């Protein structure tokens, strides 16, 4: 019975995810799912990214997932992008139906990139695809260099891996070489980005990659 229930839940989620993907494609939007543990800097990265994309004339919007509060959505709007807050009320992840309801309330015209910041968690969100074209997983030195070993599914299934807070390297017992080796063992095809959401280092390269993928999808 439990297996059947989970299959039903995932089946419903996958159907909603397909609807979301179709909506993104219809509007020519590149959609990116951003996943990571609490405090890794997902919102801080997005603040930097939406500013850089705006500087290049690219309109981005963000769906923010949190258990409670609209703190992150307000930060994103201050950075210059429209944000839609989803509060799960205790749920540990977003599912595609939540995203679909948010999209129906958003004006998708003239939107180039849509970011979906998931609830801070590296376990539950891995099972629920949201319809995005790419999923990024974010980690940071304070969390430890063995993060890929502890949460292998999150890193194995990602289409991109970001190491944030590289300005802290050298100040913490974090072996960046080991971290990237573990990532590569799990997922050798995912592009790897080292960034600092504090200094902005690496953000331009991340944006270059995103816009290149957007151009390829439109070709």
Helix (H) or strand (E) run with residue 138 in it: strand 134-139
- Say how far apart CA 2 and CA 10 lie, in whole Å: 12
pLDDT of the chain, 219 residues: tens digit per residue: 344 444 566 789 999 999 999 999 999 999 999 999 999 999 999 999 999 999 999 999 999 999 999 999 999 999 999 999 999 999 999 999 999 999 999 999 999 999 999 999 999 999 999 999 999 999 999 999 999 999 999 999 999 999 999 999 999 999 999 999 999 999 999 999 999 999 999 999 999 999 999 999 887
Domain of 41, in residue numbers: 2-218
Residues 6+ apart with CB under 8 A from 72: 43, 64, 66, 83, 85, 117
pTM of the model: 0.94
Burial label, 147 (beta-carbon count in 10 A; 0-12, 13-18, 19+): buried
Give the CATH number, domain containing residue 159. 3.40.50.300
Structurally, how many domains does the chain consist of?
A: 1
- Say how far apart CA 55 and CA 59 lie, in whole Å: 9
């Amino acid at each position: 019975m439990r297996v059947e229930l989970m299959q039903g839940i995932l089946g419903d989620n996958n159907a909603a995810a397909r609807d979301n993907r179709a909506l993104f494609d219809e509007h020519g939007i590149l959609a990116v799912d951003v996943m990571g543990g609490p405090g890794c800097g997902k919102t801080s990265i997005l603040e930097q990214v939406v500013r850089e994309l705006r500087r290049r004339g690219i309109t981005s919007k963000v769906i923010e997932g949190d258990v409670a509060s609209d703190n992150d959505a307000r930060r994103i709007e201050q950075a210059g992008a429209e944000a839609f807050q989803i509060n799960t009320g205790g749920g540990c992840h977003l599912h595609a139906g939540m995203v679909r309801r948010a999209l129906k309330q958003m004006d998708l015209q003239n939107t180039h990139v849509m970011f979906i910041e998931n609830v801070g968690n590296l376990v539950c969100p891995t099972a629920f695809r949201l319809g995005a074209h790419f999923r990024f997983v974010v980690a940071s030195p304070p969390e430890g260099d063995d993060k890929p070993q502890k949460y292998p599914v999150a890193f194995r299934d990602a289409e991109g891996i970001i190491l944030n807070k590289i300005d802290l390297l050298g100040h913490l017992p974090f072996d960046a070489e080991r971290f990237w080796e573990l990532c590569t063992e799990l997922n050798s095809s995912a592009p790897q980005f080292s960034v600092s959401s504090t200094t902005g280092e690496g953000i331009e390269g991340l944006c270059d990659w995103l816009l290149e993928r957007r151009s390829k999808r439109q070709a």
